[in-house]
Chains A and B, each alone.
Chain A
Amino acid sequence: MPDAAQELATVRCFLKERLQRDYTTLRGYETERSNVRQLLERTAEGESNSLLLIGPRGAGKTTLINAVLTDLMVKKSFVDNTLIVSLDGNLHTDDRIALKSITVQMCLENVADGKVFGSFAENLAFLLQCLKAGDKKSKSVVFIIEEFDLFCTHHNQTLLYNLFDVSQSAQAPICVIGVTCRLDVIELLEKRVKSRFSHRQVFLFPSSEAFEEYTALFEQLLHIPSNKELKLNSDRVDSLELLKSQVFTFHRNHFDPVEYEFEKKIVENWNKHIAKLIKLPSVLKLLQTLYDFDISEAFLKTFVFRLVAQLKPNEPHITVEQMAALASQYECDDKIELLCGLSVLEICLIIAIKHHSEIYDHDPFNFEIIFARFSKFAKVSSTMQNVERAIVLKAFEHLRIVELIMPLSVGGLGKVQKEFEMHKMALTYGQIQQAVNKYQALPTEVAQWALSSLI
């Protein structure tokens, strides 16, 4: 049935694209959204403002900004009267780079083809003069500063002081929107910068009390909309074309549902299946474990993406078994996987280290100590008798490279011979025990030795 396969491929492609590239759809946060939106509208009318958007990672801070901008791009009065300048603390690592970027994005006089002329001091002076020359008649400038906390580490916080100072004086109308995940970001500001900041803070917290919303979100992420809804959505995306920013690029490669069209029957079938799936108690239980761990939408999206990626022509529907398999991948411990990939000799060393830690209560160890403990076991064991010291040392070094054991001091390299360097173990006893139980074809001797340090 090539037709069904084709349809499934379209569905999969649609869902994947929507999960990854839909940068502007925000769910929930009605009050916060209208708050930011009104602030930007008033800025376009000539008021100066500053705002901090704070929330945990993955809570939709950037999406909120993008969504508000998408809303506003429809209005001609906004598009005509504002310049948008976007900065990122990870990219603009000091004020010099940030200032050049601002100058380019504002198209000031000392820019030619994206190249800024003059020194740092000249650029700052020129930017300040330009802003000072402006008044209510000049365009509003919206500064969107992502990773705002990193800007606080810049020398003297010159850029932040100047931006906030402009927003609090009779100059060109600007709006400074800082986006950060740190709750205590205001404490990072110098007191004169803090005084100039208007102390508007918008907090974005995903709600932890509504598991129903989480399941609804799960359904929504897998839901296929009707053609009418698709049309509406693509109209909304079209207005993004007005955003001509060189730096804000989310509009270029945005998810555009205009390319998709589904047959009514297929949509109904799919949605019915999802609705049925969501009612199953086992599915709810799986989602609850995900929800207990991380309530952010970003986390759920990666889960759903992996789920969607498993859709194949011979299994065209999402099943409970698939979900359970995926969820168990989230549950499992990677370090135990790593331990199970070690050789028996390395496992023996780990067990020796564990015995040492148990006896001496987490005291550090070196190769000699562990080798002595291992030799005691190797002498009486039938399989480990003729292992040479050099090979054990190699195994020990391998343990160190995969960071199952860590050197005590980072700086003291070269001082101590490598057999005598002290280490600590980066594993819990529980993990070792689980690995020993899980290890494929572990010699019985070793398994017994792992249980007791007596030989």
Chain B
Amino acid sequence: SRLAEGTPRRSIQLSNIVEQRIFKDDDVISTPKRSRAKISHSGEGDEDYTPKKSTQKTPTRSRRASTTTRPAKDSAPLTPSQKLKKIRAGELSPTIEQRLRPVDKSCKSQLQLAREQLHVSIIPKSLPCREKEFDNIYSFLEGKIQDECGGCMYVSGVPGTGKTATVTGVIRTLQHQVAQEKLTQFDFVEINGMRLTEPRQAYVQIYKQLTGKTLSWEHAHTLLEKRFTTPAPRRLTTVLLVDELDILCNRRQDVVYNLLDWPTKSAARLVVITIANTMDLPERLLMGKVTSRLGLTRLTFQPYTHKQLQEIVTARLGGSDAFKGEAVQLVARKVAAVSGDARRALDICRRATEIADMTEQSVATATKCVSILHVQQALAEMIASAKVQAIKNCSRLEQIFLQAVAAEVTRTGVEETTFMGVYTQVETIAAFMGAVVPAPGRALRLCSKLGAERLIICEHSRTDIFQKILLNVSADDIHYALRVEGNN
């Protein structure tokens, strides 16, 4: 009997079921519908309004429910669209599946503990080597909150220098102060340019963090505009942290302009802290009026020096002696020479603990320790390039092809070669080495295989023997890889 759900009469019956369920829900918790009705039609009696709207809506819903041909289960009382409404209203908290058996916390070796401490996600309470920057931001924010005025700050620095960690650390300290009633209360809103699908979604995210509701960006924009431009007594100061500012810059720059314009309004009491990578972003990318509003309160995070990196790693390790002193120093010096990225140093240390774990299976677990050899192996894995190894592990004809490209570059003196020229070189070299000369079609296959690995850069092979070929490794690498192999 349930098979004939597609007939209209059945669907009407089904819609009644759905309707009843909605009303039941309404009794239990207030749905977003009702609250939204309050916003848009202030003054209208919602007792009358809500049922009318729901009866209008039910037919479409019932049709959808019948097309999915899933009988409503008792265990899942919400239809997907109802769920979506709840999500939009911020009433349904997002969850992820829980693990069936919790992690066994006990019996962890010293190396495992060190590895946990070295994970980038473990942010220490106070960041070492960033005290000056901390004080700088702290005094700025504290002053703005106490004076009840708005302002902007621009923080820059290469990735991995502790910008976001320091700022959130400052906010945490301030919130602690608020809890102890040493400071007036404030709201904190945090957005990240890279977590948005487009710049205008910034309005949605800000509004969502202030009220918990998800609206369209136009709506959110007008509501935020209203909030920040109309004076209201007893308004709290809002601290807005904008991470990855450069992503929010589109051609019109209306989003960045709005975010930086609101603090200038006396009613807003908004403090904006912006974070980006490049120091000269305001001058390079932003329009004059936006740069002007961003102001000159700026702070630059310098890349960590090797001493600072060493301090960071040792601070994380705490009292543990899982690392030898010189091992940490080697990591610090190598990373500081490349990028000064703290994440990189921590990841390399973590990899070193894994290597130590693997290689020293025989040693008793308590006495395991990361020595300089392990660190060297980890560095080789994570910093060194594998191009030479890739060339060594090419097949013989592929190696001949690479040699031919290098030879053609030497012959013509130009970086860019064509397949025809390379093929004549292949014929020569293969004949010289006593290998079978591949037909052009097969040589094209070699070429596209090397191109897929990016040892060479080549065009689409529909251009056949006229395609242009660039060498993506240095000719020295080829000679080195093939000669070393030859000696063995």
Q: Which residues of A contact B (CB under 8 A)?
A: 34, 38, 45-48, 54, 56-57, 77, 80-81, 83, 95, 106-113, 115, 117-118, 120-122, 124-126, 128-131, 133-134, 136-141, 156, 158, 161-162, 165, 168-172, 181-184, 191-192, 194-196, 198-201, 203, 205-209, 289, 291-295, 330-336, 403, 406, 424, 426-428, 431
Contact = CB atoms under 8 A, between A and B. Distances in A.
Interface stretch (B35-43, B258-266, B321-329, B431-439): B431-439
A392 to B, nearest CB: 24
Nearest to A408: B466
B344 A195 contact: yes
A63 to B, nearest CB: 17
Contacts, number: 231
A403 B161 CA distance: 56
Interface residues of B, number: 89
B103 interface: yes
B484 to A, nearest CB: 12
Which of A47, A115, A181, A289 has the most B CB atoms < 10 Å from its CB?
A: A47
Contact of A406 (B201, B350, B466): B466
Give me the 9 closest cross-chain CB pairs, A-B, nearest first. Answer: A195-B159, A112-B80, A333-B439, A205-B393, A80-B100, A129-B94, A134-B96, A130-B94, A292-B396
B343 interface: yes
Contact of A182 (B277, B396, B453): B453
B485 interface: yes
B351 interface: yes
A293 B395 contact: yes
Contacts of B88: 118, 122
B80 A333 contact: no
A47 B353 CA distance: 14
Contacts of B439: 331-333, 335-336, 431
B382 A172 contact: no
B344 to A, nearest CB: 7
Contacts of B339: 195
A302 to B, nearest CB: 13
27 contacts: A38-B354, A46-B103, A56-B390, A57-B449, A109-B87, A112-B80, A125-B204, A131-B96, A136-B103, A158-B195, A162-B194, A169-B121, A171-B121, A181-B452, A183-B390, A191-B159, A198-B347, A200-B382, A203-B386, A293-B397, A294-B449, A295-B393, A295-B395, A331-B439, A334-B441, A403-B464, A431-B439
Contacts of B348: 199
Contacts of B436: 289, 292, 331
A183 B435 contact: no
B169 to A, nearest CB: 14
A294 B382 contact: no
Given A170-B123, A195-B160, A208-B393, A139 B455 contact: no
B440 A428 contact: yes
Contacts of A168: 120-121, 343
B151 to A, nearest CB: 26
Contacts of B385: 183
A199 B277 contact: no
Contacts of B449: 56-57, 294
Nearest to A127: B94
Contact of B195 (A124, A171, A427): A124
Contacts of B123: 170
A201 B452 contact: no
Nearest to B464: A426
Contact of B392 (A46, A131, A208, A331): A208
Contacts of A129: 94
Nearest to A206: B393
Interface in B173-228: 194-198, 201, 204-205, 208, 214
A138 B101 contact: no
Given A130-B95, A201-B381, A183 B453 contact: yes
Contact of A121 (B197, B382, B392, B394): B197
A205 B392 CA distance: 9
